[in-house]
Structure 1
Amino acid sequence: MSKIKFYFILLIAMIGIVSCSKDKNDDIPVIPPKPYAEQYEIESKLIETYLKTNYITVVNASGETKDQDVTIAKLDADHTVSIWDQKVYALKNRIVELHGIKYTLYYLVLREGTGQKPCNVDDVFTSYNGKYLAETTTDNVTIITSTQFEEVIFPQTFVNLFGYLRGWKEIFPQFKSGEAVSNPDGTVKYTNFGAGVMFIPSGLAYYNTGKGTIPAYAPLVFSFKLYKIKRSDLDYTFNGTSFVSTPDGVLSYQEDGDGDGYMWTTAELPEGAVNPDDTDKDGIPDFFDFDDDGDNYATRGEVKDANGNYYPFDLIPDCDGKIPTDIKKKRHLDKECHKMSQ
């Protein structure tokens, strides 16, 4: 299927979703979202005040479930050094350009971890504690409260970062997985895993929609432990009615053209930005594109040998059969090369 046809069908599908028939709910007034810049100005002050008026305690108990558990509480006579001022754990930030503004996304590195880093579309196996922040004023006294909305101590499944919060997608690639040790009773113990805390403005979370008990426009605080990762292969095709998973044999993290650990869709980039991870500049990043170089030959056929077996990524040749030092010269990324194996 040509990409022009692909986009045409996608456009029709989107129109069908938003062009529903009028019903009794159509007369309910719709409140437009607050301007991102105005809301972020409020939330950035709230988050920084929270960091400057609370302290953090971290449990160090290698091999135990409570290892790297976090407690955040208000400063008092016995605890006078804030998260902002403490030097034990690095308070870092990432600048995220989105919605026409620059967000400062703060995070703490409690432990980097010793295993592999996920890219921002990989799967992560993580325990976490989530709280939302709110500011209330009573008798001219303003306080910031944190309310827990979810806690996962023993994760059962992986979380795919591609479909999750922008804040998570930004922060998890800064950490590494740990080591798993099987216990005699069949349980698994994790050690040396990455652990941290992230402080997410609502514009990088649920913004005006909220979720469950999380209200609209609520900054979120997650403490987390990254136990292990699973590499994804997210390429899709459209069969005329729905999107179909069509892995191309090149793992998503291997389709990171500039090697920075991050791959974004057009909607996730600043307006007008050129996507370094979209080889054919068709608006579909390589990790999601069934035809990376736009030559109308599916990538999955271009990365197989003469016997129809997938090459290991490092051994995918160029059009002359040589192993290129520049990954962008591999034959599945060369629009002029049409060597296919099915």
Structure 2
Amino acid sequence: MVIKRVLILVGLALIAVSCGNDDNGIVTVPPRLLSEVAPENDDEIQEFLSTHFYNYEEFQNPPAGFDFRIVIDTIAGENSDKIPLLEQVSSATVTVSATEFALEDGEEDIPHTYYYLVAREGVGAYPSEADSTFVRYQGITLDRRVFDGATETAIWFDLAQIQAPLEGFRGFSVGMQHFRTGGAPIINPDGTFSVEDYGVGMFIFPSGLGSFNSFFGGIPQYAPLIFTVELFAYNQTDHDGDGIPSIMEDLNGNGFLYDDNTDEDEETNTLRISNFLDFDDDNDGTPTRDEIDFDGEGNPVFRDTDGDGVFDHLDPDTN
């Protein structure tokens, strides 16, 4: 599966190499700037959204046997009267920094806009960017070439893992939060289970939320990506087992879990552990789990023993 392979290898292609005229016959091409590529990608995305539509009429009035899957086509010929995606999508903006791709130009907080479409909302709950989701999906480029997918059997995706620096699919993580899961699982006579009324939609994001300057598995450099998704279920995560759901360790609330590291100054350059992966967030020698309490339903309750406005598990002065 391409996404899983990219997650491992996307960081290996951080510079493009092409033939040149120097003594070695090789010219190293430095990565482009995030601030330069983002607006170009947005123009490409808006052009695509203006000239394509999805099978919205089938979702509005489902025919017998409809599989509730999104089909994208060009507005042309007999489809010239279709409503373009641009008039049906919503958008959101997140910021991206050069460190997410191990770039050396130092750019920080560059705005990147992504677009999403909810074709069927679903009846369950919304996952967060930190959760694990059970989905069917298909990934395509703007020329509608499929580069990845699991369209028959759903698989689990850890949204925190795939948004990690050099992983290349933060856009998938932020996109999934806009869809709801289906109803309770139905046990079938053969022992399998099914889910009804699950969320269906698509999202499209710039390369700064994808693999950016890397190229692998049929994904070109600096390419915006499209995903169609069907969300069946999700599990809330606690990656470090400290009793705090991973999304609650996103201290700055930007949905990106890897820039929240309370004890960063005490950690070495070769071992930087974000809070949601760190069993001792403040590095005071007392595990985070031992510096919090839990209510009757198992939810974390945070202490502030010295009353300084900093919770104990984030305050190295209390343990």
Structures share fold, TM-score greater than 0.5:
yes
SS at match of 1:42: helix
How far apart, CA to CA, are the structure 2 residues paired with 1:108 and 1:194?
A: 11
SS at match of 1:153: strand
In structure 2, the partner of 1:123 is: 132
Contact residue 125 and residue 158 of structure 1 kept, 8 A: yes
Contact residue 263 and residue 285 of structure 1 kept, 8 A: no
SS at match of 1:158: strand
1:298 equivalent among 287, 303, 306 = 287
In structure 2, the partner of 1:248 is: 242
Q: How many residues align?
A: 265
Contact residue 63 and residue 189 of structure 1 kept, 8 A: no
Contact residue 250 and residue 313 of structure 1 kept, 8 A: no
How far apart, CA to CA, are the structure 2 residues paired with 1:95 and 1:291?
A: 32
How far apart, CA to CA, are the structure 1 residues paired with 2:64 and 2:281?
A: 43
2:178 equivalent among 174, 180, 185 = 174
Q: Which amino acid aligns with 2:179?
A: F
How far apart, CA to CA, are the structure 2 residues paired with 1:62 and 1:188?
A: 24
Between structure 1 and structure 2, the one with the greater Rg is: 1
1:82 equivalent among 84, 101, 106 = 84
In structure 1, the partner of 2:93 is: 95
The CA deviation at 1:312 is 4.8
In structure 1, the partner of 2:67 is: 66
In structure 1, the partner of 2:52 is: 54
1:332 equivalent among 308, 313, 317 = 313
The structure, 1 or 2, with the larger RCO (C-alpha pairs under 8 Å, 6+ apart) is 2
The CA deviation at 1:95 is 0.9
Q: Which amino acid aligns with 1:332?
A: H
1:204 equivalent among 189, 209, 219 = 209
| Cα displacement string for residues 122-161 of structure 1 (whole angstroms, at most 9, x for unaligned residues) | 111111111112xxxxxxxxxxx22111221234531111
Contact residue 292 and residue 300 of structure 2 kept, 8 A: no
How far apart, CA to CA, are the structure 2 residues paired with 1:315 and 1:105?
A: 33
SS at match of 1:316: strand
SS at match of 2:238: coil
RMSD of aligned residue pairs (Cα, Å): 3.2
| Cα displacement string for residues 242-263 of structure 1 (whole angstroms, at most 9, x for unaligned residues) | xxxxx223221343446x5824
How far apart, CA to CA, are the structure 1 residues paired with 2:37 and 2:311?
A: 45
How far apart, CA to CA, are the structure 2 residues paired with 1:335 and 1:82?
A: 54
SS at match of 1:96: strand
SS at match of 2:29: coil
Contact residue 205 and residue 220 of structure 1 kept, 8 A: yes
Q: Which amino acid aligns with 2:284?
A: D
The CA deviation at 1:74 is 1.0
Distance 1:251 1:63, change over 3 A: farther
Distance 1:336 1:114, change over 3 A: farther
1:194-233 equivalences in 2 (<5 Å): 194-233=199-238
Contact residue 137 and residue 151 of structure 2 kept, 8 A: yes
Give the TM-score taking structure 1 as reference length.
0.67
1:106 equivalent among 110, 115, 131 = 115
Specify every segment of 5 or more residues in structure 1 that has no aligned partner in the other structure, as ranges: 1-16, 18-26, 134-144, 236-246, 267-274, 321-327
Give percent identity, aligned residues only: 29
Distance 1:71 1:298, change over 3 A: same
Specify every segment of 5 or more residues in structure 2 that has no aligned partner in the other structure, as ranges: 1-11, 13-23, 98-106, 163-168, 266-271
How far apart, CA to CA, are the structure 2 residues paired with 1:234 and 1:111?
A: 30
In structure 2, the partner of 1:240 is: none
Q: Which amino acid aligns with 1:83?
A: L
Q: Which amino acid aligns with 1:121?
A: A
